[in-house]
Amino acid sequence: MFDDYFKAKRILVTGTTGFKGAWLTLWLAEMGAEVAGIGLPPDTQPNLFTAARVEQTGRHHLGDIRDYGFVQSVLADYRPHLVMHLAAQALVGNSYADPLYTWQTNVMGTANLIQACRGLDSLAAVLIVTSDKCYEPLSQARPLTEEDRLGGRDPYSASKACAELAASSFAASFARELPPLATARAGNVLGGGDFAKDRLAPDCVRALVADEPIVLRNPEYVRPWQYVLEPLAGYLELCRRMGRGEAAFAGHGTWNFAPDTGAQIPVRELAQKIIALWGKGTCLVRQDAFAHKETASLLLDNSKARRELGWRPILNIQDSLALTVEWYKAFFGGADARELCLEQIGRYLDKAASAGLSWAG
């Protein structure tokens, strides 16, 4: 896969103790990459980093990306070929509770990382993962393209828009000192191993395991749901194309990695599908007059990645949820988390190859 590009490459991943970072690290290690990680200690119990023994895949450094000296020392010592930045304060609710921490982590953490990359001659590419929420909300619902205006009313969304601006500014101001640098904007990710609070799928699973009703705050909100390996495949293919020095991927670029229109469904429908796959459960709606404002409808246009990168989603919403529910049921039934992840990576690769995607051949 990926023409063995990642084999023996030194790759630094930030956020390895998080949900997407742990999956990405396991996939890279399975491809023979030499992975180093940066992350805070896991903040949930259980968590995928510990359960899947991600620390065994390489050199993992527990530390805070707000600490420039720490970040700079890790990069200078490891001298990576690629940097993939996923570390973030990733929850809208937490951003209201502690907006300064959110902005410090998501904006200055990103700035610290890119600054530490300047002049590092080992680097071939840098990928900064932001969010679908970095866009200014529209008055009329339509899929957002990479050309749409950045914005964000809640602290989390605003911080991700600022991270995008920081990346663009670094790329423009210090082009001679930086390799190709891209930002990636993905939708709401589904998959086993996410145990965060106030995310729909983990909240559903916790309720189902405890034989409690699933509580929905905003049942009609629409999100671009996608299985975790879909955007990760896009990140990897983008890094490969940048790292190989292809002219079309030089400089600075922005990319949406999102599902097709059919996967962008309301919260209520997603919860009902999870209940059907689990085989039991109920939903109730609990409106909160003091709930923080979030964008009601969020849709992304993935046509640029399809057209220019040759990436496209291969799983529909039902397949994505089936894999997610299967993972959690097996895990809570005593299965090994790492083996579950690697088995699903293998099945996803088979599907990608059958679908004719070039990177999977």
Sequence ranges of the domains in the chain: 8-360
Omega of the bond leading into 41 within 30 degrees of 0 (cis): no
Instruction: Determine how β-strand 264-266 pairs with β-strand 222-227.
Output: antiparallel
Token readout for 92 is 């809208």
Report helix, strand and coil shares of the chain as percent, to nearest 5: 45, 15, 35
Asked if residue 297 has pLDDT above 80, the reply is: no
Asked if residue 60 has pLDDT above 60, the reply is: yes
Asked if residue 151 has pLDDT above 80, the reply is: yes
Mean pLDDT value across residues 219-246: 95
pLDDT for res 147? 96
Instruction: Determine how β-strand 252-257 pairs with β-strand 181-186.
Output: parallel
Asked if residue 291 has pLDDT above 60, the reply is: no
pLDDT band at 177 (very low <50, low <70, confident <90, very high): very high
Asked if residue 103 has pLDDT above 50, the reply is: yes
pLDDT for res 138? 81
Give percent of the chain above pLDDT 70.
Answer: 98
Question: 205 Cβ partners below 8 Å, 6+ apart?
Answer: 274, 328
Instruction: Read off φ and ψ for residue 38, nearest 5 degrees.
Output: -125, 135
Asked if residue 289 has pLDDT above 90, the reply is: no
Residue-wise pLDDT for 245-281, tens only, equals 999 999 999 999 999 877 788 999 999 999 999 999 9
- How many whole angstroms separate alpha carbon 50 and alpha carbon 60? 12
Three-state DSSP class for residue 309: helix
Asked if residue 239 has pLDDT above 80, the reply is: yes
Asked if residue 25 has pLDDT above 90, the reply is: yes
The mean predicted confidence, pLDDT, of the chain is 95
**Nearest in space to 272 (alpha carbons), one of 334, 336, 220:** 220
pLDDT for res 290? 45
Q: 8-360, which class in CATH?
A: alpha beta
Instruction: Tokens 């589904």: give the residue.
Output: 190
pLDDT band at 286 (very low <50, low <70, confident <90, very high): confident
Asked if residue 324 has pLDDT above 90, the reply is: yes
pLDDT band at 292 (very low <50, low <70, confident <90, very high): low
pLDDT for res 69? 98
pLDDT for res 288? 63
- How many whole angstroms separate alpha carbon 55 and alpha carbon 36? 9
Question: 345 Cβ partners below 8 Å, 6+ apart?
Answer: 26, 27, 30, 229
219-228, 243-252, 293-302, 313-322 — which is least confidently predicted? Answer: 293-302
200-214, 220-234, 291-305 — which is least confidently predicted? Answer: 291-305
- Looking at residue 311, the DSSP 8-state letter turns out to be -
* CA-angle at 343, arms to 256 and 277, nearest 5°: 75
Residue-wise pLDDT for 333-343, tens only, equals 999 999 999 99
Mean pLDDT value across residues 8-14: 98
